[in-house]
Structure 1
């Protein structure tokens, strides 16, 4: 059979989405700019910052235009923005971007409480503008590997999920993050909800005042029966394993405390520079799986893929798929964090509203 004359022609790739980054502090500079620049279908064209030194850095490092105000982006032909600024500014900047008609990514914490998160999500729906929370750690190597292990079913029915973000630093958590529970906690709660579904009750213990925690523990009771134990610490010299999952047939443990993409970006390595090798984890960082009384075996790790978030968001902007993280997930995550704050203050288990 002879093929049609044009059957061999490839479908033209859509034009890259023109992104701007709002904020060029540590988060914007290290964890957004190089990831956007290395993601398929994305072009980083502008940075919004009123800081002259940061503006000069952005121009030198990425060759972008820099402006002092979000509203100036429209004249530059920007289509999408990523908000990477102090936590207290997220709601205002996200809503301003949405009203400008800009598809918007907002870093965690998405909002300072669930009511504010819900209002922003409702606004995006009302305006018909795309919105997604930046839960890049859904694309961590360790979480992707854990999801594969769970899908294989070897652990049996999951009973308990333990997840920790613990590290040692000489100082205190940056105030810009809204406190360690709301900052790092947004990632851990989001992952627990992604893996095991809605939460009914929450208990929590924190050290430090609200918005200034440097150590916390949270216990979640999922509607499906799984119990999650989450912890975060800024002053832990011997961090807990990143994950331990216990099922009726066995356990899976990832001992290394943090996915390697963070360290790679801080060291100046980039997805664009490393290509297909990006996010690879050495065998020393692979997890361990034990089934019943059988031998413990290493589980090869998936590559970490933070750029996939932005590639997926760009496809959504072009009408080729959904946003990578549903904005309603940010409302659910924030509601659980709010409940954890209440539980810690009251010293008892509370229901999630």
Structure 2
């Protein structure tokens, strides 16, 4: 811990408390320096969850206390302003998804980091999902041949649940992950078509079709109103198709964190998926179960802390975020106009 990065958490709502704090406290090269929140109730919760950990009222207080890096887990509409301030104070910064509300604000944040020479990354933990890492492995091993179509879904049946403003609606909340994964696997998109349902910007159901520069077609669904969720993944190549079934096979790291467990508590058992959640590789009528790669959300913060010490790149390049935000902006235009948008 002598060279551990002093890391602060900005925000202690559901995301900060359940997802970020346990991963920060589990990282061997991170010292959890405290939480910024002005809510008396959340300050009490911090002290209950992490006795002895400091609470702060501002980024200025954090910087003055020797905090070196921060993770921003606040409502989406506040991300850009907080990131700009953190970077301006020289704090290496992780921003939860959605990175910002639109491409212009994302460009501004990235420019601030670049001009100040301060590290910046976006928290794309779904790159470390068990099922996504398995898809990457199968593609890299050539078991699917050349990829033709990539289908991916985050679908829920919650008809009484309204998408919260904190996440920016389903397009930004689910779409930030879905688009990022599609671009990581299949390269830049050249054309976007989208459909959205819901009130105003807080859509509750969306579909995006991407045409990638290499010819792959990605079809992406996100919904809180799907009573029969489709496959989490269906990835089709020239020699095979890999399918991960619906909601019952979602990567289990989220559920484990919600249950109060963490990588520090589970050790090598963290991210190991049960056999019933494994996907199957098909070639015609023949299907074989494929053991899932281990989920590794616990790798993100150690990698970012190493980057702060000059020992590697940030885990998610801000340039990737700009490409994803361009797609999300185009999806809004497409849904509004009913036309495809060329990037």
Q: Does 1:278 align with 2:270?
A: yes
Equivalent residue pairs, number: 339
Q: Which of 149, 160, 165 matches 2:149?
A: 160
- Residue 32 of structure 2 corresponds to which residue in structure 1? 44
Q: Which residue of 2 aligns with 1:121?
A: 110
Kindly indicate whether the alpha-carbon contact (under 8 Å) linking 1:164 and 1:240 is maintained by their aligned counterparts in 2: yes
Matched, 1:205 2:195: yes
Displacement of 1:42 in angstroms is 1.1
In the TM superposition, what is the alpha-carbon distance from 1:97 to its structure 2 partner? 0.3
Query: Aligned partners of 1:350, 1:128: CA distance in 2, in Å?
Result: 34
**Residue ranges of structure 2 left out of the alignment (5+ in a row):** none
Of stretches 120-129 and 202-211 in structure 1, the one that deviates more from structure 2 is 202-211
User: Secondary structure of 2:199's match?
Assistant: coil
Query: What is the aligned partner in structure 1 of residue 227 from structure 2?
Result: 237
Equivalent residue, structure 1, for 2:185: 195
Q: Tell me if 1:250 matches 2:240.
A: yes
Output the aligned Cα RMSD.
1.1
2:257 corresponds in structure 1 to: 265
Larger Rg: 1
Tell whether 2:100 aligns with 1:111.
Answer: yes
Matches within 5 A, 1:1-353: 15-63=3-51, 64-169=53-158, 170-257=160-247, 258-293=250-285, 295-352=286-343
Distance 1:145 1:154 in 2: 11
Q: TM-score, normalised by structure 2?
A: 0.97
TM-score with structure 1 length normalisation? 0.94
* Structure 1 unaligned blocks of 5 or more: 1-12
Preserved contact between residue 179 and residue 210 of structure 1 (Cα < 8 Å)? no
Instruction: Quote how far apart the aligned CAs of 1:43 are.
Output: 1.7
String of CA shifts for 1:35-90, please: whole Å, max 9, x gaps.
11112311212000011111111111123100111110012211100000001100
Moved over 3 A (4+): none
SS at 2:81 equivalent: helix
- Measured after TM superposition, the shift of residue 351 of structure 1 is 1.1
Aligned to 1:4: none
